[in-house]
A and B are shown apart, each in its own frame.
Chain A
Amino acid sequence: MSGKSKAELIKELRDKEFRASYVTSILAIVRAFQIEALRLKRTWNQSRLGIRSKKPQSEISRLENPDYVNCTVKTLADIAAALDVALIVKFVPFSRFLQEFEDVSPEALDAKSFSEEFDSTPITPTVSIGSTASQNVVITASTSFGQNINPRISIAETQI
């Protein structure tokens, strides 16, 4: 099997032109692969993602082209919002960059949506029972994330 060592790659990155091109290229190809893969995972076509992100289909098509490099952070943020995933844009040292993109397999580039990540988390309800001044029993419930939820008890308020 293949496998260029990190030392060999770092040697090539000593060329400023090479490293600028390497970074641009890997970001563009990752963006194109991820947008297409995340869109297909939702069984959306480019037009559907366009509608969700308020962009023409032609722009989605451009974003899925790994040779296209002229996109803005705002555009990527809009696409991320439409796909319900987060986006990271920050300056980092090369060592961090190499670490981040060491694995670019389809599995490594998958990103769960917010609901995939959190809505499937088992809810651990906390139920408390108290009484009000009018002697009504009040049942409140919250999830393990602290969200208040409606308790599925039909006698939520019972006159004592």
Chain B
Amino acid sequence: MSSLWTFKGFRSEGGERLIREWYKNASADKKAKFSVTMKFLDERPQADWSRPAQKPRFKMLSHDLAGYGEIRFFADNVQQRPIGKFTGKNEFTILYFAIEVGNKLRPKPKALRPILDERMQLISSDKERYTHEWKV
């Protein structure tokens, strides 16, 4: 296995680990699809994350969420959209687990932006304290 990436998740002030909590409460289908998607991303350089072009597993966001990127997979009949940011060389940190319903992101981008920015601000102040590693 050729692992190229380090994946991290946001850790709250209270110590709650975002990915770990999401995963613990996820259905078997969500867990499996998330695991497979992350494995694929893990073994590719970023240039290949936008493959297959038909339905890429990753997309950089624009407009209200410019600067952030979403991982994309379909589980439990819902488009899952973990959103995060590149936080270092070959390092991506998931900040929020959003979903997409009828081509619209939930929560709405305008509402999500301040949450993401606030989390990134905390991570910038102390990366070790506000992130946790996730093994693919």
Contacts and interface: CB of A to CB of B under 8 A. Distances in A.
Which one of B75, B90, B135 has the highest number of Cβ atoms from chain A below 10 Å of its Cβ?
B135
A36 B54 contact: yes
Contacts, number: 93
Which one of A12, A18, A66 has the highest number of Cβ atoms from chain B below 10 Å of its Cβ?
A66
Interface in A6-51: 8-9, 12, 15, 17-19, 21-22, 25-26, 29, 32-33, 35-37
Interface residues of B, number: 36
B54 A3 contact: no
B36 A29 contact: yes
A2 B42 contact: yes
A105 B2 contact: yes
B17 interface: no
B52 A36 contact: yes
Interface of A: 1-5, 8-9, 12, 15, 17-19, 21-22, 25-26, 29, 32-33, 35-37, 61, 64-67, 102-108
Interface of B: 1-7, 27-29, 31-33, 35-37, 39-40, 42-44, 48, 51-55, 57, 73-75, 90, 133-136
